[in-house]
Amino acid sequence: MMNREKEAGQSREGLLQSYQRGESIPLRKSLEDAYRSDSESDIDATEFLDRDPLNDYAQPAVPAYAPAQQLRKLRNAFTRRSKCLLIALAVLILIWSILAGGGFFLYKQKPADGQSPPWYPTPPGGTVTQWSESYKKAAELVKKMTLAEKVNITTGTGWQMGLAVGNTGPANIVGFPGLALQDGPLGLRFADNATALPAGITVGATWNKGLMYRRGKAHGQEARLKGINVLLGPCVGPLGRMPAGGRNWEGFGSDPVLQGIAAAQTIKGIQEEGVIATIKHFVGNEQEHFRQSWEWGLPNAMSSNIDDRTLHEMYGWPFQDSVKAGVASVMCSYQMLNNSYSCGNSKLLNGILKDELGFQGFVQSDWLAQRSGVGSALAGLDMTMPGDGLRWANGQSLWGPELSKAVLNGSLPVSRLNDMVTRVVAAWYQLGSPDDKDKKVVNKFIDVQGTGEDAHSRIARQVATEGTVLVKNEGNILPLSKDGWPALETHAINMRIGIFGEDAGEGRGPNACPDRGCNQGTLGSGWGSGAVEFPYLISPISALKTAFNSDRVYVTDFPTNSPPLKKTPEILKEQDICVVFANSDSGEGFIADAGVRGDRNDLYLQKDGDALIEEIATGCGGGKGSTIVVIHSVGPVIVDKWINLPGVKAVLMANLPGQESGNAIADILIGNQNPSGKLPYTIGKSLDDYGPGAKILYYANGVVPQQTFSEGLYIDYRHFDKNGIAPSFEFGFGLSYTTFGYSNLVVTPVLPKSPFPSPRPAGIPAPEFDSAIPDVKEALLPTGFRKLKNFIYPYINKASDIEKGTYPYPDGYDVIQPPSQAGGDEGGNPDLWNVYANVSVDVTNTGSVPGKEVAQVYLGYPDVLGEASNVDFPVSVLRAFEKIYLVANETRTVNFNLTRRDLSYWDVVRQNWVMPVEGSITIKVGASSRDFRLTGYY
């Protein structure tokens, strides 16, 4: 049997290819080679591919490198090697142990059994009316395809085997093109002349549904004009369980409702442009440490262990919103869910996503997240990306020719392959048939940023502005006048402003490091696959120097975290106003910067930002000046070291503002825009305040690291509320330059309470296909065909490669699974989306300037009776919000619709959403999760 090539320990996003320069980046070598087993070296559908050693139906295999065997090998090596070699080996083991978080010493431990029940077979797509026409067209096309064409559509062509990060092969005979899939959630990765939009966390901080939609539409338009068919965003996983999680900034905040609404609006905007949106990562991808096998020196990824209710009410909630919005693709995540790899978890993909949530599109793997061949196909995976299987860029796929073999030898039902292909083609038709798509000559240098009134920079600037949260404004020091202090002189310098901090300046430029993998200059985004090339990045210094009237205001800048204050103390003493910029960065785990690899090490400001703020606030104006602090961050930061210093008069959380960063913060500081952002997360006084579940697992606790979500529903503000912990600033909080009043709360029942949704609708019949195994000739390599090295084809070399035999299906495959009563349509049972109560409230601008307010609706259950009184409910849960613009003294009535799902909880015994019908559900309306102005009941 042929040994497998060395596994690259890098994630998909770590392989940086500059298509313009034609440079290739070598792969990182993995430590697996020292311990790999010949027993798992063949990539063959009839042996390795039809099982997943860590799938939900199999006992995980014991690693072949058992401790006794390794000790014998080491003992023999010691007798043959010199003392120098032994020392080198010891050093290597020590380094590896450190890098793996102690994982080397845990290899002797046996992985836990899979904890997800089997759910087979995959429900076929095409059972809802919204997709019926697309499935009819798709079925007609698929029936004409050869086996090779079907495999082409479901298998990527391999890493760097196309212009996009992911590419599928075409079905030339029937005229279906190969698809181009491209990162990411805030712009187009590896592209020029495209917009660097604000990150998801900034979008969440706007709480503005209209802006969420407009940003998505601009994103989709740029993807379409660049020739992208499938956009790998938006992102709602991670949800934000751990505030130091490396990729939290790609999502919209630490609440499922905020995430779900933002995702739905984004998806609507993207897909209106004819581009397939991809909601990711499904599900439980909450930290970067141990997210991927071998990336941290361990043979397996970690397992996120989530109970059924928590999965439905928290981590699955925004995915349900996304399916309801019609998302055409779902990306499964790297790590395991309940000790079964997410991309091979039949309960997750077949049972929850495709049956219960009624998902009609296709499931694609994260890049190299697929861990088995036939096993993952049976579990519900429809497309593998980038096509390479267990190794980066080696051309050996778990599907491709192996999928052809699996169909021809009977180990994969033809019906499953037909459904996989039809789902992909139907998604294409759902967003516009091939004849409707733009046909263009590929030009990767095309400018897609828009012009004039349609320039996407305008959207980027507005999102960055509304995504800035004012959390302190003592004495109403803000806004500053661009003309300085009021004075009689028409032309006289009357205010001195000093700008401090590396985060205020250009640094070495926004694109100094690949995938934005370093913290230097002003922080516009996090790093990794979610980052993009900045066409430009307006620094705060450049924008503020332009914003102030230079005849009246003298602005000096010190873009460093180590200004020469002791040597030149006058630079601080002479200032009337000091503006300090500091930040905190993170990103995907394949990049490390300044000791931070993926997840943040803590919640403090980086690069001595806290010390800088203290120094400036203490010495500004000789102790008499006022200091304004601006934070650019991937998530919450601890502010208690300096927030209450007498000199700190104002604090703004500017999140990750994208290319228009400086213009946005200048608009806020001088009052061109009234701040209207609200925190999409809680700012605690310490990491401990967030609870034990908020801690990153930095050190492996098993050969399969286990991260058990024992806190259940209680993350972020829910945890603070339950435990009576006072945060520095609560979820949903944000100040304005004006004030708002709330009055006249009215709760109107629309439908009477009932415990369960209406019975599941029958749906429509799925397309039917011939289930006969095709002729082997359909998959044979054409005569004279010349292969490209490492390009993944669907072809097999000869008919004798097909070994007939009996191939067992996974345990539970023959068990008939009753359809979930929570399902029946896109997003689940249609009754879940019916409005059962309407809430209206009057909001008044009680201040003197126009502004925008975010009215928020939270539910509580202290007064429910009957069996619901024994259910554990959070103190408050967000269920709706609206952002409105009001001029001074204006009053508007704001309406909120509460659906059955909003009012229900997930019953793990009944396996359905249950609405409490006895007693009253409390409805709280206000300006944050702790600022409730009015209370009503349903």
Residue 196: DSSP 8-state: -
pLDDT of residue 808: 86
Q: What are phi and psi of 790, to 5 degrees?
A: 70, 0
Structure tokens at 510: 């926004």
- Mean pLDDT, rounded, for 670-685: 98
Sheet holding 835-845, edge to edge: 740-749, 835-845, 891-899
pLDDT of residue 88: 55
Structure tokens at 373: 């061949």
Please give the distance of CA 489 from its chain centroid, rounded to a whole number: 54
Average of per-residue pLDDT values in the chain: 89
CA distance 226 to 58: 43
Please give the share of the chain, as a percent, with pLDDT higher than 70.
Answer: 86
Tens-place pLDDT, residues 799-849? 999 988 888 899 999 999 999 999 999 999 999 999 999 999 999 999 999
- The CA-atom distances, in angstroms, between 121 and each of 333, 341, 345, 416, 823 are 21, 18, 12, 8, 16
- Mean pLDDT, rounded, for 584-601: 97
532, 187 contact by CB (below 8 A)? yes
pLDDT of residue 287: 98
pLDDT of residue 921: 98
pLDDT tier at 432 (50, 70, 90 boundaries)? Answer: confident
Tens-place pLDDT, residues 887-938? 999 999 999 999 999 999 999 999 999 999 999 999 999 999 999 999 999 9
pLDDT of residue 70: 44
391, 7 contact by CB (below 8 A)? yes
Tens-place pLDDT, residues 132-150? 999 999 999 999 999 999 9
pLDDT at 20 over 80: no
Q: Nearest Cα to 208, choosing from 640, 562, 601, 678?
A: 678
- The distance between the two most distant Cα atoms of the chain, rounded to a whole number of Å, is 96
Helix then strand count (H, E) for the chain reads 20, 27
pLDDT at 696 over 80: yes
**Residue 511, SS3?**
coil
Please give the share of the chain, as a percent, with pLDDT higher than 90.
Answer: 83
pLDDT of residue 487: 72
Tens-place pLDDT, residues 231-257? 999 999 999 999 999 999 999 999 999
Could you list the beta-strand ranges (E) of 143-253.
Answer: 166-167, 180-182, 230-231
Structure tokens at 579: 């503006």
pLDDT at 317 over 70: yes
Q: Nearest Cα to 49, choosing from 333, 344, 309?
A: 344
pLDDT at 625 over 90: yes
648, 472 contact by CB (below 8 A)? yes
pLDDT of residue 58: 33
pLDDT at 47 over 80: no
Q: Nearest Cα to 749, choosing from 914, 602, 591, 903?
A: 903
414's enclosing H/E stretch is helix 414-430
pLDDT of residue 93: 52
Interhelix angle 147-154/401-408, nearest 10 degrees: 130
pLDDT at 393 over 70: yes
Catalytic residue among 366, 388, 576, 825: 366
pLDDT of residue 105: 45
Interhelix angle 147-154/414-430, nearest 10 degrees: 60
- Mean pLDDT, rounded, for 646-660: 98
pLDDT tier at 589 (50, 70, 90 boundaries)? Answer: very high
CA distance 511 to 536: 9
Q: Token pair 């845990």 is at which residue?
A: 106
pLDDT of residue 578: 98
The burial of 75, by beta-carbon neighbours within 10 Å (0-12 exposed, 13-18 middle, 19 or more buried), is given as exposed
Least confident among 54-58, 189-193, 426-430, 903-907: 54-58
Tens-place pLDDT, residues 59-106? 333 333 333 444 444 444 444 444 555 555 555 555 555 545 544 444
pLDDT of residue 295: 87
pLDDT at 448 over 50: yes
Structure tokens at 793: 């084809």
- Mean pLDDT, rounded, for 22-43: 29
Structure tokens at 874: 């959070």
pLDDT of residue 807: 86
Active site residue 366: yes
- Mean pLDDT, rounded, for 749-759: 98
- Mean pLDDT, rounded, for 748-768: 97
pLDDT at 460 over 80: yes
Side-chain-side CA neighbours of 139 within 13 Å: the count stands at 17
